[in-house]
A and B are shown apart, each in its own frame.
Chain A
Amino acid sequence: MSLRFCFRSPWTEYDYFQYHPMEEISSWMAQMAKEYPDVVTIVDYGKSYENRTISLMRIGLKTDAKKKAIWMDCGIHAREWIAPAFCQYFVRQILQTYKTDTKMEAMMTNMDFYITPVLNVDGYIFSWTNSSTRLWRKNRSPGPSGDCYGTDLNRNFDANWGTVGVSSDCNSNIYPGRGPISEPEAQAVTYFVGSRKEDFLCFLTIHSYGQLLLIPFGHPDFTASNYDELMKVGEGAAEAIWKVHGKKYRVGTSPAVLYANSGSSRDWARMQDIPLTFTFELRDNGTYGFELPQEEIQPTCEEAYSGALHIITYAHDKTFNGATATAAAAVWTTLLALGVNLM
């Protein structure tokens, strides 16, 4: 593969429409923090099993006010390469638009975006090793007996852990681990988000494939208290996606639309009272599956961005009806003054 990224000149464009190995993604993250120092901070928030750093990009305009937050993680499953590509695209989009788009500027003022381009660092690197490792899914921690590898990180969170949609065979691709949050990657998210859970309005976890927007809960016997809202916002996001390139994304709970599962990061996030939690399953529907052609990176990212933005904007506007609050306060003040005269 020819060189996809070159540091020699600051004018060299990073190619967002090719897949990048971990080293290039890490370099890109550092470069973004350098190019946008007032807005982007890299936060190292954990270590993988193989002792690699797990990092996120905190993106937002600095203010004195207490900010709300949006969480997005990509690449919890190693083989879903389109997901990290989307996180990188998403970062580029918000950095490119906030200076000219007043809505995005307002959102970056009121909220911080916490974006993890690759959560399962070890697994992602392993999937790049050679063609026979391309379809690896799990992390790289050894199983209890040492002759099997990997825990499915999206079954390892403390959310009805180990109850449904899992296998106790450590060779299985849905092996949930020795116990809830046994895996350092899941621990990293749990501690970081858990210690700030009141701040988070929205938790988006990006996967492929299947063209789905999944809402909690993965266990068929449990319903989210804001199920109707999640469906409404999800359908709105699916419509936003469809408008971009005509791709249909189905919306619903995992057990309804796909299969029951437990221990997912999305379910755990919802149980922390983060109200809007969604799993995105990006393109395609099975023709290419995990090996989505690079030509499809751009349209996939464009439509997913539209969907994610719909959810994020809803979350923001619900909390920060900024214009209305200010206007109402002004009217209140005026009328109080009037009232004093009238009495």
Chain B
Amino acid sequence: MGLRRAIVLFALMEVTWSLSVTTIGPETVSTDASAHPEPAEENTEQKEAAEEDVMATGELNPNHYPAQRAAKVVQHYLNLRHGSPYKLFGLKEVHSGNAEEVADSGRKYQLEISVHEIISNTKEKCSAEVFFPSGAKQLSPQVQVSSCEEILKLDAKSEEEALYQQYKTNKTVCTEKRLPDSYGHVDPEMTPFWHLSIVASSFIMLKESTENTLYNMAQVANITQLATENDQLKFDCHVLLHDMVSQEIPQWKLLFTWSPAEGVKVLHTEQLPHIHQSEKQAKPN
């Protein structure tokens, strides 16, 4: 075979190959002809997911829900313990996690996370442990946090003190508007009280959290300031929580106090019944 023919043959083969690559379409992507999904086989990712349903143990994928749900509990703990009208914590990222059974009493998670102080926009890596007790009576998870000192020491004392003095005797908070409103807006004057409501709600969110929940505060329906008591500002508020897993909006009433010195103390909580009536006929405003 002449060189020219060999070159032509080689070129034809090349072209044929690239043509066949070109014509791959969606029909050939799914290898099975049937429209039904395949049962999970050697896919480790999927196997992990199946195992996680049976309660993940050992090293956790930080992007998967078990570590994420446990980390959210840490957020609620930090907000309750260290939150204020000018200090609010969010979960930035989960870096790693580990879960283990604690014989007959529950499950413990160890987490490396990044926590974000939302108002100052600072970030810090923290280590945390979350223990979910087992048993018929639902007990609150227990949280321990370490190596997170900087972000917790962030100073908002002067703003807190100014707010405290302003509302201790002179002004009173009472709002008809929801926080945030339907458009995501919070009046600047109400923002510290929106933050305070999140902190107070964290008491409930922490208490109610399990491995099968993921809570955020959805909205403050209303917040009313009551008479100052023992130098603590006192508030009554109605909050709407959102549980991502059930997609429900549990509603709670909270009675709590706050001062820069004492932080938030929740005095009384009451869960409101699932409101069905208002869902049937909404009257336009």
Contacts and interface: CB of A to CB of B under 8 A. Distances in A.
Interface of A: 1, 18-19, 126, 128-137, 147-150, 152, 167, 171-174, 198, 201, 210, 216-217, 219-227, 229, 231, 248, 250-253, 255-260, 267, 270-275, 285-296, 315, 318-319, 321, 324-325, 328-329, 331-332, 335, 338-339, 342
A289 B242 contact: yes
A273 B25 CA distance: 12
A205 B45 CA distance: 23
B63 A252 contact: yes
B184 A225 contact: no
B16 to A, nearest CB: 8
Instruction: Give the dominant DSSP class at A's interface.
Output: loop
A174 B38 contact: no
B43 A227 contact: yes
Nearest to A147: B276
A137 B50 CA distance: 28
B183 A293 contact: yes
B30 A331 contact: no
A220 B49 CA distance: 7
Interface of B: 2, 4-5, 8, 11-12, 15, 18-19, 21-27, 29-32, 35-41, 43, 45-46, 48-50, 52-53, 61, 63-65, 68, 72, 90-91, 93, 118, 177-178, 180-185, 216-219, 240, 242, 244-249, 274, 276, 278-280, 282-285
Nearest to A174: B247
B63 A250 contact: yes
B48 A292 contact: no
A275 B27 CA distance: 8
Q: Lowest 4 A-B CB distances belong to which pairs?
A: A286-B216, A293-B184, A222-B37, A129-B282
Contacts of A274: 26
16 contacts: A150-B279, A172-B246, A221-B50, A225-B30, A226-B29, A227-B45, A274-B26, A275-B30, A285-B91, A286-B217, A286-B242, A287-B216, A321-B21, A324-B18, A324-B22, A332-B12
A289 B40 contact: no
A201 B19 CA distance: 20
B213 to A, nearest CB: 10
Contact of B64 (A130, A252, A295): A252
B246 A292 contact: no
A261 B5 CA distance: 60
B218 A248 contact: no
Contact of A328 (B15, B39, B181, B217): B15
Contacts of A321: 21-22
Contacts of A128: 182
A328 B248 contact: no
Contacts of A319: 24-26
Contacts of A131: 177-178, 181-182, 285
Contacts of B245: 259
B53 A260 contact: yes
A136 B8 CA distance: 67
A257 B185 contact: no
A331 B11 contact: yes
A109 B215 CA distance: 45
Given A225-B30, A291-B182, A293-B180, A132 B37 contact: no
Nearest to B18: A328
B41 to A, nearest CB: 7
